[in-house]
Structures are given as C-alpha cells and as structure tokens.
Amino acid sequence: MRFADRVAVVTGASRGIGRAIAIRLGSEGARVVVNHPGEAEMAEQVAAEIVRQGGAAMVADADVSNADRVAQMFDAALTRWNRVDILVNNAGICPFVEWFDLTEDLFERVHQVNLKGAFLCSQAASRIMRDQGRGGRIISLSSISALVGGSFQTHYTPTKAGIRSLMQSLAIVLGPYGITCNSILPGTILTDINQAHYQDPTILTRDSARVPLGRLGEPNDIAGVAAFLASDDARYINGADILVDGGLFVNLQ
C-alpha cells in the first residue's frame, strides 16, 4: 500500500491504459480521481474496482482541453481529499486517418486533447504540489510515436513528441520543488484506440511478429511502469523517457 497517503489524478481513466493505471494506483492504496470525457458509467466501474481493491475513488467528468473543466476537476479533488500528489496525463485520441484526408478540425482537436490537455493538467497539478511543499509526481503518456513516424498518425505523432518535450522542460522548472516529471513511451498497446485496426488478423499477426517478445502490449504493461514512476523508488528519476514496447524500437534488422 505504498500510495496509502496520496491522491492521484488520472486523466482518460475510464478505459484502456488510463483505466489500468487508475486501478493499479488504487490497488496500492491511492485515492484516485478517475477522469473521463463523458463516459460516466465506465468511470464509475473503474472507481468501484478501485474501492473493491482497497483504494478510494471519485469520478470527474472533464474535457482536459477545457481550462475551466480542468480547474473544476482539481478543485473537486482538493475539496474531497485536500491534496494532490500524483498526476498521470493519459487522456489522448488518435483516430487513424490518411494524410490527404486529414482535416484542420481533426488536427486541432487531437492537439487540444493530447498536448494542450497535458499542459493544462500539469500546470494545475504543479501549482497545487508547489503550494503543498511535499513534492509530487507528473507522469505523461507520450508514445513510441514521439520517436518514429506513422502514416495514419500525422496529426498524432507531433502531440506525443510535444508531450515528451513538455516533460523534459517541466523537469527543469519543477525539480526545485521536488516535483518529478517523466514520460512513458508505450509501443503498440491493444486498447480501444486501435481496436478496429487490429480486427484484421493479418495485421495483428504481422505487427506482433515485429515485437521481439512476440506480442503486442496490454494496458497493465504500462500500469506497472506508471506505478513505479509514482513511487518513492523513482524519486531521483526526472526528465526521463521510459520506452515500453517489448523491444519493437530496436528491431530494425
């Protein structure tokens, strides 16, 4: 129960990687704010699972690209538990689309949710952590896509590179307050974001074969890394990237 005295805000926690992270932190005693973008029923299920495993939870319906809604979410966390110790910037979208079909509206929406959302939540959380004087942890879900291109992700990869860069800069700014800022770079993880893509067994087999471990990732593969970065064991890790991809990135031969 290494997070028994801590409050964590996990964005996009109603499904996928965010769900796994929220449950993992809650299972180790954290009080978790389960953020969701209008998915109340799914978020309540996550909160119930956290409580079942010994943690505490509240749900917060907030579009992370909306500054007012983000402020309300953190105010609600303070009202309920009077502290914020951990932020996991997980909320993100990536509708696969051909480059020549990519619209300005979609490009802007992906940037607002993925990158602007990480900015807004990081600023709100770090102000609280600074004023508390106990340090804190900001963990952001970047992606292997911050390092490589994606033909159907030309709107998405720049946001993940931006998140990685944001954490590096914030590591410098917030380090003096004892707040560490790090990125997790998942490889291909089977979630709702790519579910339709992997309905084709040929694509699933092909992509799995590219990973030296022989399989695509699962949300829990990321949750364990997030829990480590949130813990005291990672107290001297700051401005780092952790690539969690089963060896995909190095398999170029």
Average pLDDT over residues 118-129: 98
Q: What's the mean pLDDT when you consider all of the chain?
A: 95
Are 13 and 46 a contacting pair, CB within 8 Å? yes
Average pLDDT over residues 19-45: 97
Q: What angle do CA 107, 90, 196 make, to 5 degrees?
A: 65
Are 24 and 13 a contacting pair, CB within 8 Å? no
Q: What confidence tens digit (pLDDT) does each residue in 178-229 have?
A: 999 999 999 999 987 777 778 888 988 998 999 999 999 999 999 999 999 9
- CA–CA gap between residue 76 and residue 4 (Å, rounded): 19
- Which residues are identified as catalytic? 143, 156, 160
In the chain, at which residue ranges do the beta strands (DSSP E only) sit?
Answer: 7-10, 31-36, 56-61, 86-89, 136-141, 179-186, 241-244
> Which tokens sit at 73?
């979410």
252 pLDDT above the threshold of 80: no
CA distance between the termini of the chain:
43
Please report the domains of the chain, with CATH numbers, ordered by start residue.
Answer: 7-244 (3.40.50.720)
Average pLDDT over residues 25-38: 96
Residue 95: its H or E element: none
- The pLDDT score that the predictor gives to residue 56 is 97
